[in-house]
Structure 1
Amino acid sequence: MRDYDEITAFLGEWGPAQKLIFLLLTVSFIPNGFAPFTIIFVGDTPKHRCSIPGNLNLSQAWMNRTIPQVPGTQVQYSQCSRYRLDVIRNLSEVFPDPDLLNVSGIEEEPCLDGWDYSQDQYTSTIVSEWDLVCDDTWKEPFTTSLYFFGVLIGSASSGVISDRFGRKVVLFVTMALEVLFSFIITLSPSWEIFCLIYFFSGIGQDSNFLTAFVLGSELLQKSIRVAYSTLGIGCFYAMGYMLLPFVAYFVRGWRMLKLTLSLISLLYIPLWWFIPESPRWLLSKGRVKEAESIIRFMAKKNGITPPAVLFTDDELEHIQNKQVKSVPVTQLIKSCNILVITVISALVWMIIVIGYYGLSLNVPNLHGNDYLNCFLFGAIEIPANFASWFLLWKFPRRLSHSGILILSGGVLLFMNLIPSNHSTLSTVLVLIGKLGSTCAAIMLYVYTSELYPTPIRNTGFGVSSMTSGIGSIISPYIVLLGSYQEILPFIVMGVLMVFSGIVVLFLPETFNIPLPDTIDQMQKIKWCKCSHSDSTQTRENNVVILKEEML
């Protein structure tokens, strides 16, 4: 019995229709490249100091003495306190020249009149507009975490929604919603409203990413899917990433920056008339005529005459019944072997995402120009995509994945030994760490899909995706450590990545091994004693799954 790929093989692998679909879908990933990282510029903290009211009639010399120095430094002034102004005013009336006395012993007070923010780099950010500094410093990473919580909700729900309503509909509805929320957020009257809208924006961001990923995988033939899933998506995602600092350099206010980026995303809505629905999904819903119409249109675009009859009744029944039914998540704990693989995989997913977003969001804490550093962080993803594709093609999964993680983590830990005046070397090392984390994240998608058998592959992916979402929520707080000590985020991420590289070695190898279709065909963890006693349990699990599929 022919499956869908065999039936549509007459379309060819790389005709004009496939090229157009490949191009339009990969181009749609550009907004996904800049959306998660706009907070780098929208939520950056400008240099600031306590505001001093002008009605005190202080001389400029006394105004310069109202802010205490940070202990242990000569040129760094406090950003969260000032000398008591009533004392300063009384002293200024007695001593016109502040150099005549030592003001360091004066009692300090918080910034009761707000803050003055430097506009050397930004005209406004959410931090300067709503004073998210000092006692409210926690609000900035909380904002980012709330966005990633929305991403987690979107990734968890997008599959179910697209299975119900269709790939194309969900792709463009979520794309439109993301544009809408990006526009509405510019009207936020308060930080609380900003956070609420930003959360919903995160839901749309990941939903359209995953839906476009699935749609392309179902529209393109086997030989093109790998290139689409790695090089195509990855390179256009990186282009969006690189576009962000370019736009942010010329648009220095956060509201106008969000508006400009939303208008860029708006350009992708017309793709509705050029990107077709997935024929596979249409067939699974019994919408045969619509599926045939799309296939015949692609054949016409490729200059091919399609067969008079595309699907026989038996083939239609076979294709529709071939859809793999989901199984309960409890299936992942019924076998010790599956449980151990799931725990390790979920842990590695979470750590890699912490490293990826932790490094990406840490740009403001690096030496040098923020815009250039952000651009380099986006550009490094292009060689990372090619490197991951090459490693997946040529080398064993476990060793190559472990090696790239240990190398990346080791480089970040080595930064602790770099003198502070070697800023260029520090940036290069961070870029190497970023390349490694990106490469590891791409490889993990393939490795995870090869570890699980067909009946529980989507379930295993779902659990891993949820833990990666937890990692992205944690990552802004790793970045916050840099406000206490610059090297701390790199030490934490370096230790975690080296640890994950060691943990990966405990997983089974899947290189050049056929994808498992049953639980019995899964690779066994040799060091896990209970995996050898799981054969009876896995046979029982397979019987249960088979019965569920027959029903």
Structure 2
Amino acid sequence: MRDYEQETAFLGEWGPFQRTIFFLLSASIIPNGFNGLSAVFLSATPEHRCLVPAGVNLSAAWRNASLPWESLPDGTLAESRCHRYRLALIRNFSARGLSPGVDVDLGELPQEPCLDGWSYSTDLYHSTIVTEWNLVCENDWKGPLTSSLFFVGVLIGSFVSGQMSDRFGRKLVLFSTMAVQTGFSFIQVFSSSWEMFSVLFLIVGMGQISNYVAAFILGAEILGKSVRIIYSTLGVCIFYAIGYMLLPLFAYFIRDWRMLLLALTAPGLLCIPLWWIIPESPRWLISQGRIEEAEIIIRKAAKQNGILAPATIFDPTEIQELDSHKQRAHNFLDLLKTYNIRTITFLSVFIWMIISVGYFGLSLNTPNLHGDPYLNCFLSAIVEVPAYVIAWLLLQTLPRRYTMASVLLLGGVVLLLIQLVPTDLYILSIMLVMLGKFGITAAFAMVYVYTSELYPTVVRNMGIGASSMASRLGSILSPYFVYLGAYDRFLPYILMGSLTVLMGILTLFLPETHGVPLPETIEQMLRLKGLKYKAAFHTTRLSRSSDPPKILSSTSL
């Protein structure tokens, strides 16, 4: 049997059928932008202070002096968030007519926790899960854990989604996981405890990534080669960024977390009609021996494009003959087989993990920046669009390792510079954060293509899968990088910046793949030679030297 793309070449590359698939599948990713970073506002921590009950008989002077002062991470002084002067004692002083700071030295007074709860500012948020269940002070670790549990769900979903998709089909998994994401988000609205909310958030994370991966694969398998690369690097990513941009818009007008979550969940219902428009992957159907169903889809596509399909598209006898020639099965241990592939695997795993820490750490940290958190979140989202476009343009013409190392070094260095900016120049600090986000996002877009070109065909899916799993571990850790800002506001940027710079340097030790034929076997992989590029010894030529360079996206495998 000839190549699938040769068999379906009569459809063309960019007809009405392909445009419909491109835009509808890309649009189905928009809710992922909502859910993926909704914790930015759902679990935001507003300004708060210990509550002194209104019914307590205190003079105005003692009520104003009932809270000790503490130094915040930014160096300013504020009333304590987690302690108050012992209420029974100051009530006694008030009853005796003693004055704070005059008759009584406040520095000598014993303190106690916020036994009566907290008073939360409603200037930015009317309610969040933090104010709902008092996730502050001794319970402040629950906030970042909520986000981490979502990413644990993403880790689990990324592990099982590929297997489910291979077994049950791309379309069924796509819409089933959309239903999981939308359905469990809706149940979250009625959460009665933090524990219930967090467990449901984990399940939403499983649906969120499975939906994303299924749409990615389905589009890559239906669309032609020239459109597939644009779909993989621009279509899905930019529509995800559009959803991310709409998140602060929803949050700005809806300040209650339950109503906000309901508003973010509702657009998922708009994907229901897509079931009757988006077809199953013909490639997957052929792999399952369901050739007639695949032909029906191709004929409908030809009709939509105004093209007459040939009498016979796929020859069942040739497909059976092709299936009889199977290569030796490979496993994960093949990624550690030789020094060369082992080193590339370790480098790829660490690079993916740190890029993920930087991306999600900066995204989740936007409420902690100076200024309006809604505007900061929008800027963090909109900067991704030029990052994806520039990453795509750079991948077309420039060497991979130098390009990716450059954007990583850019992102890391500007994050390290933030600590040098004076406190009153907060606009400059925000600009540096966004520039860092730009560099890390561009690296995130590039690393998919670069990694897919490093590994040979026989283990390429496993190599990308291992790197992707490491990326999920990075996203799980990212909320705790943000959490460190409660102790020192520069610490998250120092850690993320230092690690990103390190990854940029390590990228230079990887082999260059631009303009080099893709390796088919482990022996044909490019050799790791530090900063010096050296091609691998090829026992057979993969292609003529005059062949054009191949650029492969991980989703086109």
Instruction: Please classify the TM superposition score into its range, dividing by the shorter chain length.
Output: over 0.9
- 1: CA distance, partners of 2:295 / 2:12: 16
* CA 1:304–1:455: 2 relative to 1, 3 Å: same
What residue number does 1:546 align with?
A: none
What residue number does 1:509 align with?
A: 512
Residue 316 (structure 1) shift: 2.3
Residue 533 (structure 1) shift: 12
1:438-487 Cα deviation digits (max 9, x unpaired): 10011000000000111100111111111111100110000001111111
Task: Select the residue among 421, 444, 447 that pairs with 2:447.
Answer: 444
- 2: CA distance, partners of 1:321 / 1:59: 89
What residue number does 2:90 align with?
A: 88
| TM-score normalized with structure 2 length | 0.93
* CA 1:223–1:192: 2 relative to 1, 3 Å: same
- 2: CA distance, partners of 1:281 / 1:373: 42
* CA 1:534–1:342: 2 relative to 1, 3 Å: farther
What residue number does 1:245 align with?
A: 248
* CA 1:299–1:138: 2 relative to 1, 3 Å: same
Q: Which amino acid aligns with 1:509?
A: E
The answer on 1:360 being equivalent to 2:363 is yes
What residue number does 1:343 align with?
A: 346
| TM-score normalized with structure 1 length | 0.94
- 1: CA distance, partners of 2:233 / 2:135: 38
The answer on 1:403 being equivalent to 2:406 is yes
Q: CA contact under 8 A between 2:454 and 2:525: conserved in structure 1?
A: yes
Aligned residue for 2:80, secondary structure, equals coil
What residue number does 2:550 align with?
A: none
What residue number does 1:117 align with?
A: 120
What residue number does 1:164 align with?
A: 167
Range with greater deviation from structure 2 (101-110 or 390-399) = 101-110
- 2: CA distance, partners of 1:78 / 1:50: 7
What residue number does 2:555 align with?
A: none
* CA 1:524–1:301: 2 relative to 1, 3 Å: same
Residue 59 (structure 1) shift: 2.8
Aligned residue for 1:337, secondary structure, equals helix
Aligned residue for 1:54, secondary structure, equals coil
- 2: CA distance, partners of 1:299 / 1:137: 58
* CA 1:383–1:3: 2 relative to 1, 3 Å: same
The answer on 1:334 being equivalent to 2:337 is yes
* CA 1:388–1:535: 2 relative to 1, 3 Å: closer
- 2: CA distance, partners of 1:277 / 1:165: 11
* CA 1:445–1:248: 2 relative to 1, 3 Å: same
* CA 1:270–1:424: 2 relative to 1, 3 Å: same
The answer on 1:186 being equivalent to 2:189 is yes
- 2: CA distance, partners of 1:68 / 1:266: 50
Within 5 A, what are the aligned runs for 1:415-454?
415-454=418-457
1:230-264 Cα deviation digits (max 9, x unpaired): 11111111100000000000111111111111101
* CA 1:23–1:78: 2 relative to 1, 3 Å: same
What residue number does 2:547 align with?
A: none
- 2: CA distance, partners of 1:400 / 1:523: 18
- 2: CA distance, partners of 1:478 / 1:166: 38
What residue number does 1:539 align with?
A: none
Aligned residue for 1:70, secondary structure, equals strand
- 2: CA distance, partners of 1:11 / 1:383: 32
Residue 527 (structure 1) shift: 4.7
* CA 1:253–1:265: 2 relative to 1, 3 Å: same
Q: CA contact under 8 A between 1:3 and 1:315: conserved in structure 2?
A: no
What residue number does 1:231 align with?
A: 234
The answer on 1:302 being equivalent to 2:279 is no
Residue 322 (structure 1) shift: 7.6
What residue number does 2:543 align with?
A: none
* CA 1:426–1:318: 2 relative to 1, 3 Å: farther
Q: Which amino acid aligns with 1:64?
A: N
Q: Which amino acid aligns with 1:35?
A: N
- 1: CA distance, partners of 2:521 / 2:252: 53
- 2: CA distance, partners of 1:476 / 1:92: 44
Give 1 or 2: higher helix fraction. 1
- 2: CA distance, partners of 1:74 / 1:275: 55
Residue 358 (structure 1) shift: 0.6
Q: CA contact under 8 A between 1:350 and 1:467: conserved in structure 2?
A: yes
What residue number does 1:464 align with?
A: 467
Query: For this pair of structures, how many residues does the alignment match?
Result: 535
What residue number does 1:15 align with?
A: 15
* CA 1:77–1:329: 2 relative to 1, 3 Å: same
- 1: CA distance, partners of 2:324 / 2:119: 66
- 2: CA distance, partners of 1:337 / 1:78: 55
Aligned residue for 1:293, secondary structure, equals helix
What residue number does 1:391 align with?
A: 394
- 1: CA distance, partners of 2:304 / 2:17: 6
Q: CA contact under 8 A between 1:326 and 1:458: conserved in structure 2?
A: no
- 1: CA distance, partners of 2:88 / 2:125: 32
* CA 1:272–1:326: 2 relative to 1, 3 Å: farther
Aligned residue for 2:112, secondary structure, equals strand
Q: CA contact under 8 A between 1:4 and 1:319: conserved in structure 2?
A: no
Q: CA contact under 8 A between 2:525 and 2:536: conserved in structure 1?
A: no
Q: Which amino acid aligns with 1:44?
A: A
1:92-121 Cα deviation digits (max 9, x unpaired): 012265464332321111111111111111
The answer on 1:48 being equivalent to 2:48 is yes
1:18-73 Cα deviation digits (max 9, x unpaired): 00010100001101112121101000111111111233221333211111111597
Residue 314 (structure 1) shift: 4.1
- 1: CA distance, partners of 2:147 / 2:414: 26
What residue number does 2:282 align with?
A: 279
Q: Which amino acid aligns with 1:195?
A: S
Counting aligned pairs with the same residue, the percent is: 53
What residue number does 2:69 align with?
A: 69
- 1: CA distance, partners of 2:28 / 2:325: 30
Q: Which amino acid aligns with 1:6?
A: Q
Aligned residue for 2:52, secondary structure, equals coil
Q: Which amino acid aligns with 1:185?
A: Q
- 2: CA distance, partners of 1:24 / 1:118: 41
Q: CA contact under 8 A between 1:130 and 1:191: conserved in structure 2?
A: yes
What residue number does 2:478 align with?
A: 475
What residue number does 2:552 align with?
A: none
What are structure 1's unaligned runs of at least 5 residues? 537-551
Q: Which amino acid aligns with 1:43?
A: S
Q: CA contact under 8 A between 1:478 and 1:489: conserved in structure 2?
A: yes
- 2: CA distance, partners of 1:358 / 1:401: 19
What residue number does 1:27 align with?
A: 27
- 1: CA distance, partners of 2:77 / 2:515: 60
Aligned residue for 2:55, secondary structure, equals helix
